[in-house]
Amino acid sequence: MRPLSDSRHQHCAGFSMIGLLLVMIVLFVLAGGYFGRGVLERQEQAVGTYQYSMDKARTVAEDANLQIVQTSVDMWVMAHPGEPCTIEKLQADGRYSIPAPPAGAKWEIDETNHVILVKSQPEAK
C-alpha cells in the first residue's frame, strides 16, 4: 500500500490558486481595455444630448407661454377697444392667465399689441 502523501504526485495535482488568479486578472485587464473603449465618448455624447433636450424644452415652453400671453392680449384688445393694454392691467384684471416669464426676462407689449419677451443682458464687470 502506498502512503497518502506521495511526493511524486504532489506537484502535478493541478493548477495553483495563484496561477488561476493571475490568469483571471490578465483576462479582466484585457477585457476592460477592449470593452472600456469609448465609455468617455458615450458619456460626453449623453451629456450633450441631455443639454440639447433641456434647451429645446426651455425654448418650447417659452414659445407656449408667449402664445398664452399673446392670446390674453388679443382678448383684452377685443374687450377694451381703444384702451392700451399692459401686462399690469392683464394681471390686475384676474381673468387672464399670464405665466411668469423666464428668469431674467419680462413680458412687454409693443404699440401694435404684440407680446415681446425681453431678456435682460448680463451686466459687464
User: What are the residues whose beta carbons fall under 8 Å from the beta carbon of 116, sequence distance 6 or more?
Assistant: 107, 108, 109, 110
Assigned domain for 2 exists:
no
pLDDT tens track for 70-116: 999 999 999 999 899 999 999 998 888 899 998 899 999 998 999 99
pLDDT at 26: 87
Assigned domain for 26 exists:
no
**For the chain, how many structural domains are there in total?**
1
Which residues constitute the domain of residue 101?
40-119
Assigned domain for 12 exists:
no
Distance CA 124, CA 121 (A): 9
Confidence of residue 38 (pLDDT cuts 50, 70, 90): low
**Nearest-5° Cα angle at 68, 96 to 66:** 130
Assigned domain for 8 exists:
no
Does residue 33 register a pLDDT over 90?
no
Assigned domain for 49 exists:
yes
Assigned domain for 90 exists:
yes
> Mind giving me the DSSP string for 80-113?
STTS---HHHHHHHSSS--PPPPTTEEEEE-TTS
